[in-house]
């Protein structure tokens, strides 16, 4: 099972950017956490982060035929990117939206998610654990365990 984990803008600044919201652990720690969570599921992951919307669109498109599913933290693009939504819909791979914080408990503009319409589920507000839960759900879905 191959899963692409995509991270959007400013996640490379974890541990520096608003640690009271996003925590004090850095992006390298997040990558380690994701790899460990994937190993628990016997899943192979590729992790990619970009601050550029078009680069993320390119990675989603390149996932077609190369990955079984996508876990994506679109970060700020959650609330603005029809391009990411369209790319996810175009490749039609099972996808899970993930967030470290809970956007629904923050500023009103963060309550809107464009990508959610192309995702099976959203996992948010659990810090790094959001990624483990998203990977678990997606792995179960890909194995045909639709009740996950």
Of 27, 52, 77, 99, the active-site residue reads: 99
Could you give all domains of the chain from N- to C-terminal order, each with its CATH number? 2-142 (3.40.50.9100)
Give the closest residue to 78 by CA, choosing from 148, 140, 11, 2: 11
CA angle 46, 85, 80 (to 5 degrees): 105
Q: Is-catalytic flag, 22?
A: yes
**pLDDT block averages, 10 residues each, the chain of length 148:** 97 84 87 98 98 98 98 93 97 97 72 90 96 98 80
Q: Which residue has the tokens 């078009």?
A: 54
- Look up 99 and say whether it is catalytic: yes
* Residue-averaged pLDDT of the chain: 92
Tens-place pLDDT, residues 76-110: 999 889 999 999 999 999 999 999 988 776 667 66
């Amino acid at each position: 099972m191959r899963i692409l984990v995509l991270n959007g803008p400013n996640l490379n600044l974890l541990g520096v950017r608003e640690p009271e919201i996003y925590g004090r652990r850095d992006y390298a720690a997040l990558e380690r956490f994701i790899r460990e969570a994937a190993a628990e599921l016997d899943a192979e992951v590729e992790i990619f982060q970009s601050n550029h919307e078009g680069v993320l669109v390119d990675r989603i498109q390149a996932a077609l035929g190369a990955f079984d599913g996508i876990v994506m933290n679109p970060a700020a693009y959650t609330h603005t990117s029809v391009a990411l939504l369209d790319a996810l819909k175009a490749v039609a791979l099972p996808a899970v939206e993930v967030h470290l914080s809970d956007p629904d408990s923050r500023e009103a503009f963060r309550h809107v998610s464009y990508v959610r319409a192309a995702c099976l589920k959203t996992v948010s507000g659990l810090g790094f654990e959001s990624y483990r839960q998203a990977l678990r759900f997606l792995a179960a879905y890909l194995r045909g365990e639709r009740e996950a």
